[in-house]
Structure 1
């Protein structure tokens, strides 16, 4: 099963429209397409609960109580991401407690993912010692010093729990709530921070005018889909990117990229360019990340568009990490590059420094703290780092159209 939840959704206001089946979590590269599919049946334009759940297919069978309720696709997506990280024990805890509490609202299911770990669910009574130890571990927040854990009389703890008479039989095991309370971590509008996919940045989003009463910040995880940016802003009441206040919660950009950009003072207007830059960097392997650091220094990139273009055209640069002098470069070329048949018997006759200096003059390369970099492209480097004219026109047209749709 490649999904956590698969939901069949429909438009309650347009019953004549076809249903749409969506797997969750939605992959980032499928998110925009999914939103546009929903928009084709007059859904997905709003961040309100506008979709009726007609059917649910999931290993979490307790979620079938969502059928007939209204949800927003981002709520289903967030719930699926939360559940995707659950171990077998948490799966039992979530399902048993959801059944015990009789949950049917998406908001409550999301909030349960934050507290079901406080409960004890027994699915097999054959090993009382282990049941008691697991229960004691749960009561201690899921962590104990190993010596204290080993000292627990598991059988005694299990019998005390079972004989206490507070267990509730569910299809998913016997549930003991241990005093758990379903707290509103998720307020039904703004999602609590929860990084899921591989990412470079987590941004906290609030309106410049300040949060309204009862509202929480929203979080944007870059790189992301374009529609996700719009919908994240809307969830916190921002209809124009210019009105967004940005705080960096997590920054995993390559070191020299981070140093080259003044990202401590981001504005909402920077979000599209920042996201596209992160999208360009994301596919790079570790060695290419190191190369990008060197190329950014070499090109003296000073804005997000320049970094993005360098990341997308990294194959136009040659990079040898760690080299700092012409002699080191000459030695690398003669002995390690494969361009020459090196003969160790002639070692004393090689003039590495002179050859390295000659290559530097021919190539126009540069040493920096990362190593040696050469640009092999035919277009002037300054032009390479500029925005594509067609893309610039499209972006300007988009800005002229104004804010975001509610």
Structure 2
């Protein structure tokens, strides 16, 4: 992978312009990429982002602030590119734009997963002080296979081992607000798909009860976003054995740091809720702050998810995970990053689907699984399942804070 440097155009010299005329930005969402997203700098003033879906290769050119694109050109093919003036995709930007995306059909390129493509971008840029710049870059890109397609929304369980994406600090990020809307706005079969209620369960001796770190005050922005989508929030405050039915208008239920085991009868109520199109969101935490990791793992297994919470804390203190950490799913649709703080690590099973990874893009922090609707027996003991033992928290972290600080 290599990038060519950028150079400034002589003052007063207008860049060579592509054929004028309107052109639609191809758009595309890197969060929906199959596999990895590739990126290379175009000198100091631009960047090139490349990803593919099952049918399309996307090439996104961006200016580095304060520079904006005035004209851009892109190439993708099996042969090395020639000079930028020969690139087949080109556009003039009036008004100037921060980013522009080109789409190439993989079929037209004759490219299949595993094939290597030569990708290049070139742009003329302008700053508010009328400083011209020219930027170009290129890379070799391997077409990614679309494996482990995400499960359809609804009838699923979503796991976040971190309160903080939903607190007021996390929700200060518009991407987190979009994630909140995506969690409650989804289409699915079953009567729950048209539900108008979101249930909050902060009972069961939750760490979130009362004035905890996910109190009403701490979640005020999150609550406002949900209510702004037309949903009402109903508090459940369950105790062990108290969940015997869920309101017919309920579409999503959030289980916040529960610390009392769910009975098999309660599990079956949640399974039925999911089979009707409902979504279960389990919000856990890291081991030092949340002492019910074993409860969480047992709950996930009984619901049909193979993923386990290791208890290990990563990325402590508030951090923004960038686009490369996100994985395509209805929940991450449209997101370009996410704010977290001290999330515990998940080990997903073969049918569990990651939503985002840590800052190193190697450890899963949030994932989703389709719920197994098969009811649990109410009198017979279940066979033992293997549970990964929680890891000891790092001594320097503060166990009284979900952020670890």
Q: With a CA cutoff of 8 Å and minimum separation of 6, indicate the structure with the bigger relative contact order.
A: 2
Q: Larger % of helix: which?
A: 1
Q: Identify whether the pair has TM-score above 0.5, normalized to the shorter chain.
A: no
Interval containing the TM-score (normalised by the shorter chain): under 0.3
With normalisation by structure 1, the TM-score equals 0.23
Larger radius of gyration: 1
